[in-house]
Amino acid sequence: MLEATGGNGVDVALDHVGGPTFAACLPATRTDGAVVNVGRLDTAESTIDLDALAYRHLRISGVSYGFTRPAELGAVIASAGEHLLAAVADGLVLQQDFAV
């Protein structure tokens, strides 16, 4: 991911795998960026490099749509359709497969 961003890292990393993939998102995120875990397809446990977290001043958030109230989930989906899809079409959202 660093190569795709000129070595800067991404603004926001969306992790839907968990486990070691979540940990790999931290060094791929720019300083003052954010990592959001939205799923645990691999495992719910992850060991992270606390230096990657602290030195980059990262923000970490977790979301679980399986336990989200319907009105909140609807707002998220509506917002994604409005904002995220346009960013994907414009090439502003990158996909990276981390080999772990």
45 burial (CB, 10 Å; 0-12 / 13-18 / 19+) is exposed
Q: Please give the residue range of the domain that contains residue 16.
A: 3-63
**Residue 33 placed within a domain:** yes
Q: pLDDT digit string (tens) for 67-92?
A: 667 777 777 778 777 777 777 788 77
Domain co-membership, 38 together with 83? no
Q: What is the CATH number of the domain that holds 57?
A: 3.40.50.720
In a domain, 100, yes or no: no
> Looking at the structure, do residues 27 and 53 belong to the same domain, yes or no?
yes
Backbone angles phi, psi at 6, to 5 degrees: 65, 25
Q: Which of 4-8, 64-68, 85-89 is predicted most confidently?
A: 4-8
Q: Which two tokens stand for residue 31?
A: 């300083």
In this prediction the pTM is: 0.69
Rounded mean pLDDT of the chain? 83
Helix (H, G, I), strand (E, B) or coil at 39: coil
| Count of structural domains within the chain | 2
Tokens representing residue 78 in the block = 């509506």
Bridge partners (DSSP) listed for residue 59: 34
